[in-house]
């Protein structure tokens, strides 16, 4: 894998695309981006109690925790809807 450059904005690490690719004639932006495995990117902000995401966890783990919380919320909403029918 090639080198990936990053830009740091607050607690976020943002990969900067350095690849060369052609722009589609009707596209507003290039479709080219640097690809980095989500296990190789770590969250560097404060712990997030709403999702359980902790500082230095990988992006993979953070996304799994967000997905888990979404599923829990969907189940709770469905239960509330059924209770009020």
pLDDT tens digits for range 39-64:
888 998 899 999 999 999 999 999 99
- If one compares 2 and 75, the residue with the highest pLDDT of the two is 75
Interstrand relation of 5-9 and 12-16 (parallel, antiparallel or unpaired): antiparallel
Of 67, 3, 64, whose CA–CA distance to 39 is shortest?
64
For residue 43, give its domain range. Answer: 39-85
The answer on 53 and 31 residing in a single domain is: no
Please check whether residues 23 and 46 belong to one and the same domain.
no
pLDDT value at position 1?
43
Query: Are the beta carbons of 18 and 4 closer than 8 angstroms?
Result: yes
Clarify whether residues 82 and 43 are in a common domain. Answer: yes
* pTM value surpassing 0.85: no
Residues 70 and 84 placed together within one structural domain of the fold? yes
């Amino acid at each position: 894998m090639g080198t990936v450059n990053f830009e740091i904005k607050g607690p976020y690490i943002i990969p900067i695309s350095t690849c060369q690719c052609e722009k589609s004639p009707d596209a507003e932006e290039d479709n080219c981006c640097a690809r980095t495995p989500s296990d190789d990117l770590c969250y560097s902000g404060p712990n997030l109690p709403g999702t359980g995401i902790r500082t230095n966890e990988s992006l993979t783990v953070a996304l799994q925790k967000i997905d888990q919380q979404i599923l829990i919320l969907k189940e709770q909403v469905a239960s509330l809807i059924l209770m009020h029918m």
